């Protein structure tokens, strides 16, 4: 597999995440463009069962069973196994999701193998003899294009940077046994606590309704949640709302939160500070509800409703529900 491009997949409850299918698609496209070999590596509990679904996206799947991910942080189990496979088969490039587990994994590989890293990629292209990675930086004021200086490295790719597409011919599935020379120092998961009811993670949501300081408190947030629910979407928030404790950190969008790319983003009581903007500026359609027509969000929204969100949100929720009731479902 010298000359190889590997997509490194992620499993959630034994199922491939959406970004896994995106990375498999990306590995296939890059390999086709450059006459290289592509593979998807799946390491975890249930990897073999999940492999067939991932193989539909093209690259052959190397599935490694690792039940330890139940008791230890995922990256600490995946890293030594992936490092052993990389040392053995010498792929040139690894595509890793820029998720929390993915960044941990890339960092551990940097430690174990001194593998170079291009971080936080929002798209990947091929430029002559290697990949180039586009990254939004400096609070969204600049877009950079970077490359490796030698032909190997890890590319951290953000979710929703590519559209997952099944291949004409599916790849094959192979089970791989990996000998790990040394495990990483032990970290035990002693408990798993669910605080908020499940629902789509905001990185994967097609519709996000987000609230900021303008919603005024937890009660105001309920109106945001109701609209999200009517639209079948997820709830997002600014740092101001998260710091105030109205909603959990997992919901925060922006520089120190998540970068999202929904088809529809509705922002209620959000000023649109640069640190928030960078998390959402590539959304399909952005609708803002704000008392202040001069709020910075007007600079990147498609539609700004000037008014009191407490008057707008309930009516909007009502209107959406009415359409649903009429049998008009989302496209």
Ligand X SMILES: Cc1cc2nc3c(=O)[nH]c(=O)nc-3n(C[C@H](O)[C@H](O)[C@H](O)COP(=O)(O)OP(=O)(O)OC[C@H]3O[C@@H](n4cnc5c(N)ncnc54)[C@H](O)[C@@H]3O)c2cc1C
Site for ligand X in 239-298 (CB under 6 A): 239-241, 252-257, 269-271, 273, 275-276, 279, 289-292, 295
- Is residue 153 within the footprint of other proteins (CB under 8 A)? yes
Q: Two tokens at 48?
A: 């073999």
Contact 239, 252 (CB under 8 A): yes
The entry of ligand X, other proteins, none that residue 131 binds, CB within 5 to 8 Å by partner kind: none
* Angle made by CA atoms 296, 302, 307, in degrees to the nearest 5: 65
Shortest distance in whole angstroms from residue 38 CB to other proteins: 22
Contact 216, 100 (CB under 8 A): no
* Interacting partner of 175 out of other proteins, ligand X, none (Cβ under 5 to 8 A depending on kind): none
112 binds other proteins (CB under 8 A): yes
Nearer to ligand X, 61 or 268 (CB): 268
- Asked if 250 and 276 count as a contact pair (C-beta separation under 8 A), the reply is no
Q: Name which of residues 35 to 64 contact other proteins (CB under 8 A).
A: none
212 binds, among other proteins, ligand X, none (CB under 5 to 8 A by kind): ligand X
Residue 261 C-beta: closest distance to ligand X, Å:
15
Starting at the earlier edge strand, list the strands of the sheet with 173-175: 117-121, 153-157, 93-97, 4-8, 37-44, 60-65, 173-175
Options 4-12, 36-44, 52-60, 304-312: segment touching ligand X (CB under 6 A): 304-312
Beta-bridged to residue 216, according to DSSP, are none
- How far apart, in whole angstroms, are the C-alpha atoms of residue 154 and residue 142? 22
Check if the beta carbon of residue 268 is closer than 8 Å to that of residue 211: yes
Interface positions with ligand X (CB under 6 A):
212-214, 238-241, 252-257, 269-271, 273, 275-276, 279, 289-292, 295, 308-310
């Amino acid at each position: 597999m010298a000359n190889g491009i590997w997509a490194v997949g992620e499993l959630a409850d034994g199922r491939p995440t959406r970004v896994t299918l995106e990375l498999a698609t990306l590995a296939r496209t890059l390999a086709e463009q450059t006459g290289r070999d592509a593979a998807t590596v799946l390491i975890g509990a249930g990897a073999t069962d999940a492999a067939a679904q991932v193989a539909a996206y093209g690259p052959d799947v190397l599935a490694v069973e690792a039940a330890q991910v139940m008791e230890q942080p995922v990256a600490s189990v995946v890293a030594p196994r992936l490092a052993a496979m990389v040392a053995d088969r010498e792929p040139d490039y690894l595509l890793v999701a820029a998720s929390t587990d993915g960044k941990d994994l890339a960092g551990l590989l940097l430690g174990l193998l001194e593998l170079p890293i291009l971080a936080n990629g929002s798209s990947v292209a091929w430029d002559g003899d290697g990949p180039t990675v586009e990254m939004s930086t400096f609070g969204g004021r600049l877009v950079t294009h970077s490359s490796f200086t030698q032909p190997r490295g890890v590319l951290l790719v953000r979710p929703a940077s590519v559209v997952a597409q099944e291949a004409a011919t599916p790849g094959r599935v192979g089970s791989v046994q990996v000998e790990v020379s040394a495990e990483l120092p032990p970290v035990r998961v002693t408990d798993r606590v669910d605080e908020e009811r499940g629902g789509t993670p905001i990185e994967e949501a097609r519709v996000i309704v987000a609230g900021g300081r303008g919603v005024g408190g937890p009660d105001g947030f309920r109106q945001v949640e109701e609209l999200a629910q009517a639209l079948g979407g997820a709830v997002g928030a600014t740092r101001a709302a998260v710091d105030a404790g109205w909603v959990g950190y997992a919901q925060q969008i922006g520089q120190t939160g998540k970068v999202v790319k929904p088809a529809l983003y509705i922002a209620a009581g959000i000023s649109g500070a640069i640190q928030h903007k960078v998390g959402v500026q590539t959304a399909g359609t952005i609708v803002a509800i704000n008392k202040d027509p001069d709020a910075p969000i007007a600079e990147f929204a498609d539609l700004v409703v000037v008014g009191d969100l407490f008057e707008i949100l309930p009516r909007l929720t009502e209107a959406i529900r009415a359409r649903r009731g009429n049998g008009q479902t989302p496209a």
